[in-house]
């Protein structure tokens, strides 16, 4: 079996890493306790805040002013990209969002959640998610939230709803 660092740094596993982690539930829990990136400052602690940048039209419905469940779809495959708030300030979160914005996507701001809240979610009688410190050379504050214990279709739908209701309201970018 490969190491956590090898698994998370392998580009072949990046688009389906949450599938593998779900199939290897016990291993996924163990890997959460290790640094999985060469650039990491350490594992994500329960008391850390996590921020997710929000773009439209996929993450945010402009007409209703609300998040869509699609804002959380990545949690089922490649991992939900978040920034560790103890490593970035608001200005940097917004700068990262503005730099990632594509021509057809609008950047609206970010949402936040405590790591502990993510880890306390239980679905299908298992812990539903794990958080990995997937820092990159050019983005040291990066982490991924992955679905690890949810296998049923209804559980996956509940997971996205849980996330939509658990993350903070949108913190809009200053005009």
- pLDDT tens digits along 87-146: 999 999 999 998 887 666 788 999 999 999 999 999 988 999 999 999 999 999 999 999
Q: Is residue 5 part of a domain?
A: no
What is each CA distance from 143 to 41, 102, 118, 151, 161, in whole angstroms?
A: 11, 21, 13, 22, 21
- DSSP code of residue 170: P
pLDDT at 105: 74
Q: Is residue 3 part of a domain?
A: no
Q: What is the pLDDT of residues 24-72, one digit of tens each?
A: 999 999 999 999 999 999 999 999 999 999 987 788 888 888 888 889 9
* Beta strands 49-56; 60-61: pairing state: unpaired
Q: Is residue 4 part of a domain?
A: no
Q: Is residue 8 part of a domain?
A: no
Q: Is residue 19 part of a domain?
A: yes
Question: How far apart are alpha carbons 3 and 50 in whole angstroms?
Answer: 25
Number of domains in the chain: 1
Domain with 131, as residue range(s), is 15-172
Q: Is residue 95 part of a domain?
A: yes
pLDDT at 106: 84
Q: What angle do CA 20, 24, 29 make, to 5 degrees?
A: 110
Q: Is residue 22 part of a domain?
A: yes
Q: Is residue 2 part of a domain?
A: no
């Amino acid at each position: 079996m490969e190491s956590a660092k090898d698994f998370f740094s392998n580009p072949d596993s990046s688009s389906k890493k949450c599938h593998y982690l779900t199939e290897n539930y016990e291993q996924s829990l163990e890997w959460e306790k290790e640094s999985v990136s060469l650039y990491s400052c350490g594992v994500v602690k329960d008391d850390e805040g996590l921020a997710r940048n929000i773009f439209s039209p996929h993450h945010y419905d402009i007409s209703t002013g609300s998040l869509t469940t699609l804002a959380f779809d990545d949690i089922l495959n490649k991992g939900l990209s978040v920034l560790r708030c103890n490593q970035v300030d608001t200005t940097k979160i917004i700068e990262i969002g503005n730099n990632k914005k594509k021509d057809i996507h609008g950047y609206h701001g970010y949402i936040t959640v405590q790591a502990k809240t993510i880890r306390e979610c239980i679905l299908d009688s298992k812990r539903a998610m794990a958080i990995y410190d997937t820092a990159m050379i050019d983005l040291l504050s990066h982490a991924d939230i992955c679905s690890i214990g949810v296998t049923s279709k209804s559980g996956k739908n509940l997971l996205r709803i849980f996330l939509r209701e658990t993350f903070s309201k949108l913190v809009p970018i200053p005009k």
